[in-house]
Amino acid sequence: MNAQVPDSFTSRACPLCASSAKVRLLTLDADAIFRSNWSYRPEAKALLEVDADDRYSVVECSGCGFLYADALPDAPFLHRVYDQVIDGDAARSNNLSPAQIAPKMDNIAVLLRLAGTRAEPLRILDYGCGFGATLALLAAAGPAVQAIGYETSATRLADLRARGLAATGDTAQWMGRGPFDIVVLDNVLEHVLSPRETVASIARACAPDALLFVSVPETNRERVLAQQRVADAGGAIDMDINPWEHLNYFDTKHLDALLAAFAFGPLSAARLPQAVDIGVRPCESAAGRMKNALASLPRLAAYAMHGDTLPRTTRRFYRLARDAADSRRPALASEHA
């Protein structure tokens, strides 16, 4: 299938290493994207005014192996997607549901335990706070936490402010509230135009030893190729394979490499204040429990030897190296003097 890039999209180089050499792995038409996304309004096709001949691709960088959307949509297209095409009520209801909030509570608990007791309130940035599920939980923590959210969608910002949550769409405003002790990047890096620039701006606004939580969909070459086969058969592909919204596709290797470039090191399972997950799951069947236990033995061995097990992009904790943070602090101060 040939890829005809829409006029409102711009071809891009690899957002991690800047190489322009790439291999196309997946190419979708608009209909394949529409039928795979439950959050889009019925009139999505008319709102986006997409051409039936246009194609949207995910490619693999020939230099570093990173996967990314081959072309970037322009600002008007992104505005239509996030503020018009997505059914805000349906997406908000899903994002603020108990099932979605529960893991966010767990992630916040880990971050607060890692931060420890402080004489001054913890400064926390929820970057790309969306509908504010995490921001609301942080606000409920009381005066020991000072949290601010950053959100670019005008409709979501209006909703956040109507609910009394501290949020801004102005970069200078949130940077002026730093340096931050904790930053949350929950399902954000896959959406941004330049993940390197995003992480660089966050690193400049961090305090020494700042904590960073990142969650992005886990994606690799095999998964993308499998989704192409599903699309070719006329099926609905996974919702997070979407070159309009998800511009960057991470596995653990590339996520860690991106963060390491700005002195964020991953925290192993042995360093997290919680029970270690080696993949043992509840199961009613004795045979199922036996199979699960046997499959968990290699993960237990990995934990015993290396202090880590089951690293995944959907739940990754990092800490900023102090010496790197110290070198960034004067630049931050001068920016907001």
Q: Decide: 239 and 233 in contact? Cβ < 8 Å.
A: no
* Spatial strand order in the sheet of 122-127: 167-168, 145-150, 122-127, 180-186, 206-215, 316-320, 264-266
Token code pair at residue 1: 């299938």
Residue type, 224: V
| Residue spans of the chain under pLDDT 50 | 1-2, 324-337
What pLDDT is attached to residue 1? 46
Residue type, 109: A
Instruction: State the residue for tokens 């949350």.
Output: 184
pLDDT tens per residue, range 69-112: 999 999 999 999 999 999 999 999 999 999 999 999 999 999 99
Q: How far apart are CA 211 and CA 110, in angstroms?
A: 10
Helix and strand element counts for the chain (H, E): 13, 13
Residues with Cβ < 8 Å from 139, sequence gap 6 or more? Answer: 145, 147, 164, 165, 166
| Element at 298 (helix H, strand E) | helix 286-306
What pLDDT is attached to residue 323? 62
Looking at the chain, how many residues does it have?
337
Q: Decide: 150 and 171 in contact? Cβ < 8 Å.
A: yes
Q: Decide: 319 and 264 in contact? Cβ < 8 Å.
A: yes
DSSP state of 40: B
Q: Decide: 147 and 124 in contact? Cβ < 8 Å.
A: yes
What is residue 118's three-state secondary structure?
A: coil
For residue 231, give the nearest of 34, 16, 23, 11 by alpha carbon: 34
Burial class (CB in 10 A: 0-12, 13-18, 19+), 126: buried
CATH number of 96-215+260-272+312-335: 3.40.50.150
pLDDT tens per residue, range 186-233: 999 999 999 999 999 999 999 999 999 999 999 999 999 999 999 999
Instruction: State the residue for tokens 């930053």.
Output: 183
Q: How far apart are CA 70 and CA 76, in angstroms?
A: 18
Q: Decide: 278 and 303 in contact? Cβ < 8 Å.
A: yes
Cα separations in angstroms, 58 against 44, 65, 86, 158, 253: 22, 12, 21, 33, 18
Token code pair at residue 273: 């204040």
DSSP state of 236: P
Instruction: State the residue for tokens 């739940």.
Output: 315
Residue type, 136: A
Domain boundaries, the chain: 9-93+219-249, 96-215+260-272+312-335, 277-307
